[in-house]
Amino acid sequence: MESQLQRPRDIIGGLVILAIGALFLLLGRELEFGNSFQMGPGYFPSVLSVLTMILGGVLTWKGLRGAPVEGAFSHIPWIGVVSVIGSVVFFGLTIRGIGLGPAVAVVVFVTASASRYARWTSSLLLAVGMATACTLLFVYALGLPLPIFGPWLSIDYWSPAATVPAQ
């Protein structure tokens, strides 16, 4: 049976983004909103939620009005899906252990390499650039207490002498 939707991927994606924005707006309604001059803790999340909902609505609208796409759901790029999801999980599990710089570099390299248009040299340059930019921004400019290189990358962490308690 032929689908009646012209661009089902855009419509479903737009509805998911719209639902995520609505969910976060609903969950953040208990926070004090404030105003533009005296922002409360709920101001920024509410504004981002509304912007997310607008983006989802625009994407859904464009999907309804767009020309049909042949085989919209026929091919799912599983390597890309697994790379992106796996990279996010890897980042969350290893940022404290290997540090911000290497974690960002690995995540950016793996996700950039998931594209069929990417070359390993451009992915490597992007990874190093993003790791440097994130380190400068988050550690030095914002002062977040994140290690640039974590303890897992030191020889002392892996040596057997380090695990023996001192007497």
The token duo for 5 is: 């939707």
**Position 69 pLDDT exceeds 60:** no
Structure token pair of residue 20: 């995520």
pLDDT of residue 126: 94
Please give the residue that has the higher pLDDT: either 147 or 39: 147
- At 53 the pLDDT is 95
Residue 70 pLDDT more than 70? no
Mean pLDDT of 18-28: 92
The model carries a pTM of 0.58
**Is 39 strand, coil or helix?**
strand
pLDDT score of 6: 65
Tokens representing 99 are 């540090």
Query: What is the pLDDT confidence band of residue 72, given thresholds at 50, 70 and 90?
Result: low
pLDDT number for residue 155: 83
27-61 tens-digit pLDDT: 888 888 888 788 888 888 899 999 999 999 999 99
The rounded distance, in Å, linking the Cα atoms of 96 and 142 is: 17
Residue ranges in 30-134 assigned as alpha helix (H): 43-65, 78-98, 100-113, 120-134
Of the pLDDT bands very low, low, confident and very high (cuts 50, 70, 90), residue 103 is very high
Nearest to 125, CA basis, from 108, 107, 140, 111: 108
Name 39's bridge partners: 34
- Say which residues have a Cβ less than 8 Å from residue 90's Cβ, sequence separation at least 6: 103, 106, 107, 110
